[in-house]
Structure 1
C-alpha cells in the first residue's frame, strides 16, 4: 500500500476564550501527518489539547492558525472522508441501532434502501447482526461503542479518528473491541486507509500503533515521536513490547523532571501547575511502592497493574511524588527517595509535618499562601485574590481546581486551614499571633 498523505497539519494553533474573556492557548505550532496505511496513537496528559486537535482534523472546529488539510485540500468543515468515534458513544437514545448507524448516510443523501443495506453489512461486520432493532438502553457499554464504530465505518471513511474510544469500557471489553478493530484493519475488511487514536492507555497505544506521538501540555505541541516496527498482532508479554511500553512511560513522565524548564518565569514563580491528585492516593502509592514485591522501586506498568488504576489516574500522582521529593522517575521506573522511605516508616503526625515541609519547599503556590497569611494581621485571607491570580494563566475552572489541590495538600500538611463556608484561608491554630 503506497503511503499517500491523508492528513497534513502544519504549525497549527488554537486558543479559547475563558469566562474572564482572556485568551488561552491550547495548541501551539503543531505539525502532524497521517499517511495511507498507518495507525497513529496520540498521547498526552491533561492540558495537551489531544481532543481539540482531533476535532480540528474532523472539521468540527477551526484552527486559529496554520494549515489543516485532507488529501491536499484545506479542511473548512466536516469532510466526507473523515469519520470520528467518541468516548461517550454519542448515540441518540430514541433511535434504534439501525437508525443510529444510518444517520451519517442519511445526512449524505443516500437513498433509504442503500442505507439499510450498508447498515446491515457493517453491523454484521462489527458483530452486531440481529441488533438493528434494539434501542441503546438495551445494550451493554461494549455494544454501544460497537454501534458508534459501525456508524463511523458505514460511510466508508478514508480516515477514522478515535477519541478515547475504548476508555469508557471495562478492561476486557475494551481489549476485545480493540483486537476486533485490528483484525478488520489487518484483513482489509474496512475501507479505512488511516486511523488516528487518542488515548491515555500506553499499552493500548503500543499494541495498536505504527507511530506514537506524545504531546506536551499547556499549550499542546508535539514533543516526540516513536516509530514501532513490530508486526501485529503483538504479544503484550514479549520483551520488545514491554521495552516499548517502558520507553513510552519514561517519556510520558518526563514532565516532572524536565518539562518544567519550559515554564515562563511567572508561572514558575506561582507554581500553578499542580497535578490533580489527592493525599490519600499519594500515600497509597507510596505504601504500595515501599511494600513487597517492589521494595522501593517499581516498573510503572507493573505498579499500575498492582494499583488497579489507569495511567490517566496515576500520572498526576507520579508527578506529585516527584514534585514533593518523595520519589524519582527514571526511564519508566519509579524509585522512593530516602525521604520517601522515611515518610512511609514514621507515625502519622510526622507524616503530616514532612508533607508540610516539602509543600512549602517545593510548591511556590503553597508558600505564597502561607507568606500572605503571615503578613495579614488577622491571619486570614480570602480565596478570591488567589483565584484572580491563577486566572492570569489558567481558565477559570482550572484555576479553581489548582487552588482546591493546594488547599487539600496545605490542610493535610498543616500549613494553613480553610473554611468551606466562608471561602477563607487561615493560619493553623497555634501559628496565629
Structure 2
C-alpha cells in the first residue's frame, strides 16, 4: 500500500458509522484509606473508530492508564458509560486485546504457551490455537524462539511476545499501555517501526490501535489522532488530528511543528500571562492567609477551615531546587529562549521528567513558558548567576513569595510559641485535600525547599518542624 493510499484510507475510515468504542462522560473515583474521595479522571467523552491509531497523551496524574482500563472493561467507571459496537459494557471488553508496559508474561510458560493463553481461555482447540500462535510468532519475528522461556529473552523480545499474544486474538482494537517505555531507546524505536509495519500490512486483522504514552515524539510518530488529557483529575483538553504522511520523518519541519504544538497544549496553563501564573500554578495548593493564632496546637489553628476549602486541585510540582537550578543552566544558554521539545531532547527527558521542573520554574517566576517556548526571567537569571550562598537567599525569597505551602509553614513556625511544630499537623491539613501518599509527597517537597532556602528544618525522628538558625533573627 502506498503512502498516499494509506493516508486516504485512514481519513476515510474515521466516521460515526464504524465506531468501535464510545465513551460518554466517563469518570472514575476511588476512596482512599482515610476516607478522602479521589477523582482519577472526570467527564471524558471519546470515540475510537475503525482504521485509526490513537495516542492518549498526558502528564503523570492524568489517569491515562486507568482510562484505558475503563475502555477495556477492566474497571467499571463510577460515572458515564462505555459502549463496544453500540452495546454498554458490563465486563471485560470482548473486542480488545491489551499489551502491557511490564510485558506480563508467565515465566513458567514458553513463548508459544504464552501466546496461546488467550486462545486457550476461549476454548480454541489445541491444533487450531497452535497454528494461530505459530503464525503470530512468525509475524512478530520470533520464529525459532517458540520453546524459549521469558527469562531467556531480551526486553524487546518479551514485548514482542506480548504483542503476538494480543494479535493472535484478532481483536477489533489493540490497546497498548506505554508498551515501549521499559525498553532502551534503540529497541523501542525498532519495535515502534515493527508495529507500524504490521498496521500497514494488508494482512493485518486489527481494525484500530489505542495506545497510552507520555512521549510526545512517539505519539506524533505513530498516531493518526492524539487525545491530550490534563491532570488532577484527568480531563480532556485536546483532540488533535495528525495528518502527516507515513513514514514520518522526525526531523521534518511538519513533524517538529506538531511536536511543538502538543508541548504548547500540555503547557497551556504555563503559557498564560505572568500575572495569572499564581492562580494557575500547580503549586498553589494553599492560600497565603496569615496564621493568626500565636499558639499553634492543631491543624485547625494552622489554617481555618474556609482556607482548606480553597486548596487547589493540583499538587506541588515534584522538583528539587538542584534540578531546577540545572534547568536554568540549560535555559540560560539560550538568551532568546528554547522550545520545550528541544529542551527535552537536550536533557534526554520524557514529559514526566521535564514538566515538574517547568511547573516549578513557572511557579517561582524563574522561567516563563508561552506556546511551547521557555525563556529565563530576570529572577531566574539572578538565581542562575548567584554564588552558592546568594543562590540560597534568592531561592528562599522566591519560595516565600510564590510557594504558599512553604510560606505558610514558615509563618506558622514564627507564630508558634517555641518556633516548632509537629509535622503531623501539616500532614493532617494536607490529608484534608490529598490522599495520604500525596500529602506526604507535598510535605516532603516543602521540607526540601525550606531546607535549601535555610527557612526551616525537619527532624524526622521527633517529627518536628523548626525555624532554621539562619532564619530566626529575620
- TM superposition score category, shorter chain reference: over 0.9
Does the residue aligned with 1:256 lie in a helix, a strand or coil? Answer: coil
Matches of 2:77 and 2:261, distance apart in 1: 32
Q: What is the TM-score when the length of structure 2 is the normalising length? A: 0.87
Among 338, 349, 357, the residue aligned to 2:397: 357
Q: CA deviation at 1:422?
A: 2.1
Q: Deviations over 1:140-163 (max 9, x none)?
A: 111111111111111001011111
Higher-Rg structure is: 2
Question: Structure 1's 289 and 430: CA in aligned 2 closer, same or farther, altered over 3 A?
Answer: closer
| 3-state DSSP of counterpart to 1:80 | coil
- What does residue 404 of structure 1 align with? 444
User: What SS is found at the alignment partner of 2:107?
Assistant: coil
- Checking the alignment, whether the CA contact within 8 Å between 2:229 and 2:238 is kept in structure 1 is yes
Change (3 A) 1:107 1:253: same
Q: Which residue of 2 aligns with 1:221?
A: 235
Q: Distance in 1 between matches of 2:206 and 2:89?
A: 18
State the alpha-carbon separation in 1 of the partners of residues 153 and 52 from structure 2. 31
Secondary structure in 2 matching 1:166:
coil
Partner residue, 2:328: 286
Does the 8 Å contact 1:278/1:408 carry over to 2? yes
Partner Cα separation in structure 1 for residue 341 and residue 271 of structure 2: 19
What is the CA-CA distance between 1:243 and the residue it aligns to? 0.4
Structure-2 separation of matches of 1:143 and 1:366: 48
Aligned-pair distance for 1:95? Answer: 1.3
Aligned-pair Cα RMSD in Å = 1.8
Partner SS for 1:29: strand
Partner of 1:82: 96
Q: Does residue 195 of the first structure (1) align with residue 209 of the second (2)?
A: yes
1:251-281 Cα offsets, whole Å, 9 max, x none, are: 1112335595498985765696211122221
**How many pairs were matched up?**
431
Equivalent residue number for residue 376 of structure 1: 416
| Displacement after TM superposition at 1:6 (Å) | 0.6
Moved more, 375-384 or 303-312: 303-312
Q: What is the TM-score when the length of structure 1 is the normalising length?
A: 0.95
Structure 2 equivalent of residue 342 of structure 1: 382
Q: CA–CA distance in 2 between the matches of 1:430 and 1:280?
A: 20
- Counterpart position of 1:230: 244
Residues of 2 paired with 1:43 and 1:395: CA distance?
24
* Separation in 1, partners of 2:366, 2:387: 16
- Runs of 4+ residues over 3 Å off in structure 1: 255-272, 430-433
Q: Is the 8 A contact 2:36 2:434 kept in 1?
A: no
Structure 2: any 5+ residue segments left out of the alignment? Answer: 1-8, 286-306
Give me the whole-angstrom Cα distance separating, in 2, the residues matched to 1:195 and 1:266. 43
Quick check: 1:271–1:364 contact (8 Å CA) kept in 2? Answer: no
In 1: Cα distance, 2:360 partner to 2:309 partner: 17
Post-superposition Cα deviations, 1:30-67, rounded to whole Å, max 9, x if no partner, equal: 10011111111111112211111001011111011111
SS state at 2:41 partner? strand
Match of 1:100 in 2: 114
What is the match of residue 151 of structure 2? 137
Q: CA deviation at 1:356?
A: 0.9
Judged with a 3 Å threshold, the aligned counterparts in structure 2 of structure 1 residues 296 and 378 are, in CA distance, closer, same or farther, namely farther
Distance in structure 2 (CA, Å) of the matches to 1:271 and 1:242: 32
